[in-house]
Structure 1
Amino acid sequence: MRFVSVRGAGRPRLRRAAILAATLVLGSGLAVAAATQASAATGCSVNYQVTNSWPGGFGASFSITNLGDPISSWTLKWTWPSGQSVQQGWNGTFSQSGTTETVTSLSYNGSIATGATASGMGFNGSWTGSNTNPTSFTLNGVTCNGSVGSSPSPSRTSASPQPSRTSASPQPSRTTTSPSPTTGPCTTNCPAHVDNPYVGAKGYVNPEWSAEANSEPGGSRVSNSSTAVWLDRIAAIAGADGAMGLRAHLDAALAQQTGNQPVVIEFVVYDLPDRDCAALASNGELTVANDGINKYKTQFIDPIAAIMKDPKYASLRIVNVVEDDSLPNLVTNLSIATCAEANSSGAYVQGIQYALNQLHANNIYNYLDIGHHAWLGWDSNFAPAATLMTSVVRGTTNGFASVDGFIDNTANYGALQEPYFNINTSVNGTSVRQSTWVDWNFYVDELGYSQAFRNQLISDGFPSSLGMLIDTSRDGWGGSARPTAASTSTDVNTFVNNSRIDRRIHAGNWCNQSGAGLGERPKAAPGPAGIDAYVWIKPPGESDGASSQIPNDEGKGFDRMCDPTYGGNVLNQNNPTGALANAPLSGHWFSAQFQQLMANAYPPLS
């Protein structure tokens, strides 16, 4: 699977240009008629509109209609009347000199035929005092004249500002990202949308995963556990290579219901264009360059939504983990070309917002991924990630109501809780934060990180009902190597290394980790504040990635972090990968891993 960024590696870069494909539908605003073009055009119309406003900030969009000769590229300029500034822009290259804002076209939206419109450009900006709209625009050096549409007054009840210049991605307004959600699964006697979908429900047992577990010696001890179903390519919706499809799993979940107790069934919705941009093991079938965002919407999300919203399944509680790894990559890994493309095209943000819009329903529950503590736990990543996720969700049609919570640790193996030290522990006067293992992170385990992230999201505007999931499928770290007490060493590195139950070589290692064990079994409302459930979203025994190159038609590449002979890279500070040998492609059954997970389970298996 995919996953890491460590302190100092791949921090967010300053980006003002780029994001969101040109699908914005603009309302009435500024209508400007005049001359345009640097080559004999005779007129243009610019539609500028403020789409959202909050204390100190605003979002705006604009389109350009060419009323003259065809043009192959454009430069739009205006003067800010009240000293505003653009913080992040998309579908254009933005620059500012004093009060003058300049936006130039990108390679794909520079050509505007006579009578045609270039749309989808927009930005998030800041203001102080007032937010008066610009009154004059020039296109390719020629003035366009007209009136400006009115701007809504700033809302003083808005809970969260938009991303700062160091945040990974701007967001469109709530009314511009996608069509309205499809009709819900029922119109009368609809099931209530409960605060925690796991409470009072029975977990779905995937018969295919259960059969694999039962085929393993000792596997019957866990084969009745609830695990998620991964919808990781378009073919998986109908069922690929003889496997059950979405509707078959939902039918099986209905068959597992008894009496009035609902079944909660979990799906990972996972096929964004340029998916898993910071790793190769789980690269997907869709690319931004090959119309990936439209294919994602029409061929992937729309069919999933249509099936899940079939009234036949209204009694089920359907939990979707929507596109794990995606938003965290936009915070830390923009130095990687594929991640930069996912950011500049808007594929991740636009795709997730579309998915949340279409999958919003009474009996459907959506959770977004927050990576894990060894990815976003540093102060340089933590707040920007929360701000980005807040903005993405606020930009959906249903706002904060479109998600029920967030999930931690699907993309890694971090221990649920380190019992023998915490972030406030000092050794001989030295904080454990200074140890090589902790590396100045603010968290040492997933429970502390998950609860802190929840608090940050609520502070940013999410309701206090927000719930968190923690994937405990591979974080048990049991067996003979598990420490039984805190170290007595007075050296901070020795103390941490001998006290930590997470036995990985480096916290950035993510692929088929040697020594890992099953963690807490799936459990609703396990007790810690704000945690909806412990879940097994990554089904134990399914590989994270191949340990060597394996030709395939699933779009999955070979990632050296899955190679046990590889000496590592900057992301894991050039440590060995700790990966198991002879691993198959990601998502394929890996018997040796499953046996290890059972042997090292904590709590131990009986």
Structure 2
Amino acid sequence: MTQVPKSSPSKSPRGSWLRAAAAGAASLLLAGGAVALTSAQAGAAAGCKVDYTVNQWSTGFTASVALTNLGDTLNGWTLEWDFAGDQKVTSGWNATFTQSGKHVTVKNADWNATLATGASANPGFQATFSGTNDKPAQFKLNGVVCTGTTGPTDPPTDPPGNRVDNPYAGAKAYVNPEWAAKATAEPGGSRIADQPTGVWLDRTAAIQGVNGGMGLRAHLDRAVAQGAGLIQLVVYNLPGRDCSALASNGELKADEIDKYKTQFIDPIAAILKDAKYANLRIVTVVEIDSLPNLITNVSPRPTYTPNCDIMKANGNYQKGIAYALNKLGAIPNVYNYIDIGHHGWIGWDDNFGPTADLLAQVARDSGAMSNVHGFITNTANYGATKEPYFTINDVVGSTSVRESDWVDWNRYVDETSYALGMRQRLAQSFGNNIGMLIDTSRNGWGGAARPTGPGPRTSVDDYVNGGRTDRRIHLGNWCNQSGAGLGERPKAAPEAGIDAYVWMKPPGESDGASKEIQNEEGKGFDRMCDPTYEGNARNNYNMSGALGDAPLSGHWFSAQFQELMRNANPPLN
């Protein structure tokens, strides 16, 4: 069957699954600043544990204080500790905070006063400090010293030369202090400032640091100081990068493959293999928006662009990715994940199989098959993690949802079904141990427009449009989407087949400028970022759905950050 043109790939900040989970695998534990989790002292029958997690900048910090009751049910609780330095609490949430000198008292709110055995409360606060910011030595819950174990408080020690099945399991993930500081500066942003996000290596200068910012080694050093066990890097600087869009074009010309190898990948690899980072699990997301473009945006497709034809002809996407996989994969603690677009780009039959075959071909022809740990979907995009109110198998009357205008004969309706479907297909080439990641940073789609149940069964379009949580105008819309919200928080092994939900795209960083802005970053103006644009073949000539007044890709976009928090699903406290 002839299908309408398929949608455009995800775009992201340039500068943004597998194994059945082991029984009892813990959720991702987040680390921040130089503060680790609390220590424990002598036991008591009425027990508790506290995970104290900090995101720190030069003169201040936010802290999450995850309290778990290990004793009998409590009807009202008070948590106390003494600061080791001159920390001063300035505001708090999910509880009432008071401070006298170094002593801090935290009393429950009305709505979380009852703590059953095994239940948790999650108060947090913002504070200032000078000098050192050491962790409190001891916590007391209703006068009893917390003695419970706190889980993985130190970087995991993996067997030399052996990668673990799921690098996210049991590992605290690095919190980028540069992003966290921007988030914290936003009203309400401290609620999410302790979340781990991807560190984007989107140009050669990013290795050393751009405009006085942190470079790769500085991020790695900070991860070690945080006591993190995992750091996430996006390796994103192919020659002729992102051939189907202008907002995320890169610094290297289409034929500069040698520069890519020697001036970009080689220096990254040299830093990553430093012995002092050997206890860090280093997740690398290798070159998003690349190989899928060679399937969907080349001749004779109606969605073709001349630049993608050039990149298909010269083979530099394949060569560059193969080189990166081999060079980075030779480092024992590096875990390579390759981008597979998203369900609204690759989910159709004529895209799905060819994309899987191209991924396997690139890895096989370069001898890099063993250097691929897994794949990532929805990087910096907006597709729903799971559509709760309809599935691809639903029928209205005698009409399949595949025939609806929204689904448009796609085989998938959300990122989880796509990820698991692609994993099953890729396992034929890469083996059953491959893992999958889903970027959930902007796919919450909360707010007043979010459906609360299935759509009416008056027609298949009414049913799908009334029940879909992805509220984009069209699946092909990718730039700064209006109405989007934060999605599922980062979490390890959320279900069988998925290594982790991740925020690889740092929320608040723009996808592209809504109007032309002169710059020295190689970034052009893409009309898909213009809210007045009426579309092209890649979004079936629909409005772009983009927010106005957006800065260049990768630059901070305060209005979008605020909207993401307002529309978060699950909602923020």
TM-score by length of 2: 0.71
Pair 10,546 (structure 1): closer, same or farther in 2 beyond 3 Å? closer
What is the rounded CA distance, in whole Å, between the counterparts of 1:408 and 1:431 in structure 2? Answer: 25
Pair 413,284 (structure 1): closer, same or farther in 2 beyond 3 Å? same
Structure 1 residue identity aligned to 2:440:
T
Deviation at 1:395, TM superposition (A): 2.2
Q: Which residue of 1 aligns with 2:250?
A: 284
What is the rounded CA distance, in whole Å, between the counterparts of 1:9 and 1:249 in structure 2? Answer: 38
What is the rounded CA distance, in whole Å, between the counterparts of 1:189 and 1:447 in structure 2? Answer: 31
Deviation at 1:10, TM superposition (A): 8.8
**2:348 is equivalent to residue 384 of structure 1:** no
Q: Which residue of 2 aligns with 1:67?
A: none
Deviation at 1:190, TM superposition (A): 2.7
Considering only aligned residues, what root-mean-square deviation do their CA atoms show, in Å?
Answer: 1.4
Q: Note the alpha carbon deviations across 1:395-426, whole angstroms, 9 max, x for none.
A: 233x3210110000014210001111000111
What is the rounded CA distance, in whole Å, between the counterparts of 1:345 and 1:314 in structure 2? Answer: 36
Secondary structure of 2:292's counterpart equals helix
**2:205 is equivalent to residue 212 of structure 1:** no
Aligned residues: 416
**2:455 is equivalent to residue 487 of structure 1:** yes
Structure 2, unpaired ranges of 5+: 9-157, 299-303
Q: Which residue of 2 aligns with 1:333?
A: 297
Deviation at 1:270, TM superposition (A): 0.3
Q: Which has the higher contact order (CA 8 A, sep 6+)?
A: 2
Deviation at 1:189, TM superposition (A): 7.1
**2:279 is equivalent to residue 312 of structure 1:** no
* Residue from 342, 350, 358 that aligns with 2:319: 350
Structure 1, unpaired ranges of 5+: 1-5, 12-187
Q: Which residue of 1 aligns with 2:265?
A: 301
**2:478 is equivalent to residue 510 of structure 1:** yes
**2:161 is equivalent to residue 197 of structure 1:** no
1:416–1:446 Cα contact (<8 Å) kept: yes
Secondary structure of 1:465's counterpart equals coil
Q: Which residue of 2 aligns with 1:451?
A: 420
1:324–1:411 Cα contact (<8 Å) kept: no
**2:386 is equivalent to residue 436 of structure 1:** no
Q: How does 1:168-183 map to 2 (within 5 A)?
A: none
Deviation at 1:537, TM superposition (A): 0.4
1:273–1:288 Cα contact (<8 Å) kept: yes
Deviation at 1:233, TM superposition (A): 0.3
Identity of aligned residues (%): 64
Secondary structure of 1:281's counterpart equals coil
Secondary structure of 1:469's counterpart equals strand
What is the rounded CA distance, in whole Å, between the counterparts of 2:457 and 2:232 in structure 1? Answer: 44
Secondary structure of 1:439's counterpart equals coil
Q: Which residue of 1 aligns with 2:32?
A: none
1:466–1:530 Cα contact (<8 Å) kept: no
Q: How does 1:44-55 map to 2 (within 5 A)?
A: none
Q: Which residue of 2 aligns with 1:52?
A: none
What is the rounded CA distance, in whole Å, between the counterparts of 1:336 and 1:502 in structure 2? Answer: 27
Q: Which residue of 1 aligns with 2:503?
A: 536
Deviation at 1:337, TM superposition (A): 1.0
Q: Which residue of 1 aligns with 2:437?
A: 469
Q: Note the alpha carbon deviations across 1:267-312, whole angstroms, 9 max, x for none.
A: 10000000000000000000124xx100000000000000011111
What is the rounded CA distance, in whole Å, between the counterparts of 2:267 and 2:4 in structure 1? Answer: 39
What is the rounded CA distance, in whole Å, between the counterparts of 1:456 and 1:190 in structure 2? Answer: 31
1:371–1:411 Cα contact (<8 Å) kept: no
What is the rounded CA distance, in whole Å, between the counterparts of 1:308 and 1:550 in structure 2? Answer: 35
Structure 2 residue identity aligned to 1:266:
Q
Structure 1 residue identity aligned to 2:249:
N
Q: Which residue of 2 aligns with 1:393?
A: 363
What is the rounded CA distance, in whole Å, between the counterparts of 1:464 and 1:494 in structure 2? Answer: 39
2:197–2:506 Cα contact (<8 Å) kept: yes
Secondary structure of 1:508's counterpart equals coil
**2:193 is equivalent to residue 226 of structure 1:** no
Q: Note the alpha carbon deviations across 1:131-162, whole angstroms, 9 max, x for none.
A: xxxxxxxxxxxxxxxxxxxxxxxxxxxxxxxx
Which of 1 and 2 has greater Rg? 1
What is the rounded CA distance, in whole Å, between the counterparts of 2:275 and 2:296 in structure 1? Answer: 41
**2:521 is equivalent to residue 524 of structure 1:** no
What is the rounded CA distance, in whole Å, between the counterparts of 2:218 and 2:207 in structure 1? Answer: 9
Deviation at 1:553, TM superposition (A): 0.6
Secondary structure of 2:265's counterpart equals helix
Q: Which residue of 1 aligns with 2:112?
A: none
TM-score by length of 1: 0.67
Deviation at 1:530, TM superposition (A): 1.3
What is the rounded CA distance, in whole Å, between the counterparts of 2:511 and 2:380 in structure 1? Answer: 9
What is the rounded CA distance, in whole Å, between the counterparts of 2:505 and 2:547 in structure 1? Answer: 17
Structure 1 residue identity aligned to 2:379:
T
What is the rounded CA distance, in whole Å, between the counterparts of 2:168 and 2:221 in structure 1? Answer: 19
1:356–1:396 Cα contact (<8 Å) kept: no
Secondary structure of 1:407's counterpart equals strand
Secondary structure of 1:327's counterpart equals coil
Secondary structure of 2:291's counterpart equals helix
Deviation at 1:245, TM superposition (A): 0.3
Q: Which residue of 1 aligns with 2:127?
A: none
1:372–1:411 Cα contact (<8 Å) kept: no
Q: Note the alpha carbon deviations across 1:107-154, whole angstroms, 9 max, x for none.
A: xxxxxxxxxxxxxxxxxxxxxxxxxxxxxxxxxxxxxxxxxxxxxxxx
Structure 2 residue identity aligned to 1:274:
G
Secondary structure of 1:212's counterpart equals helix
* Residue from 519, 532, 541 that aligns with 1:574: 541
Q: How does 1:151-170 map to 2 (within 5 A)?
A: none
Structure 1 residue identity aligned to 2:294:
L
What is the rounded CA distance, in whole Å, between the counterparts of 1:591 and 1:396 in structure 2? Answer: 43
What is the rounded CA distance, in whole Å, between the counterparts of 2:537 and 2:371 in structure 1? Answer: 37
Q: How does 1:58-207 map to 2 (within 5 A)?
A: 190=160, 192-207=162-177
Q: Which residue of 1 aligns with 2:394?
A: 425
* Residue from 557, 561, 569 that aligns with 1:602: 569
**2:254 is equivalent to residue 254 of structure 1:** no
Deviation at 1:462, TM superposition (A): 1.3
Pair 464,211 (structure 1): closer, same or farther in 2 beyond 3 Å? same
Structure 2 residue identity aligned to 1:505:
I
Q: Which residue of 2 aligns with 1:584?
A: 551
Q: Note the alpha carbon deviations across 1:149-201, whole angstroms, 9 max, x for none.
A: xxxxxxxxxxxxxxxxxxxxxxxxxxxxxxxxxxxxxxx97363111100010
What is the rounded CA distance, in whole Å, between the counterparts of 1:394 and 1:9 in structure 2? Answer: 28
Pair 440,255 (structure 1): closer, same or farther in 2 beyond 3 Å? same
Q: Note the alpha carbon deviations across 1:494-523, whole angstroms, 9 max, x for none.
A: 111111000000010000000000000000
Q: Note the alpha carbon deviations across 1:557-604, whole angstroms, 9 max, x for none.
A: 000000001111111111111100000000000000000000000000
What is the rounded CA distance, in whole Å, between the counterparts of 1:280 and 1:326 in structure 2? Answer: 14
* Residue from 444, 460, 466 that aligns with 1:498: 466
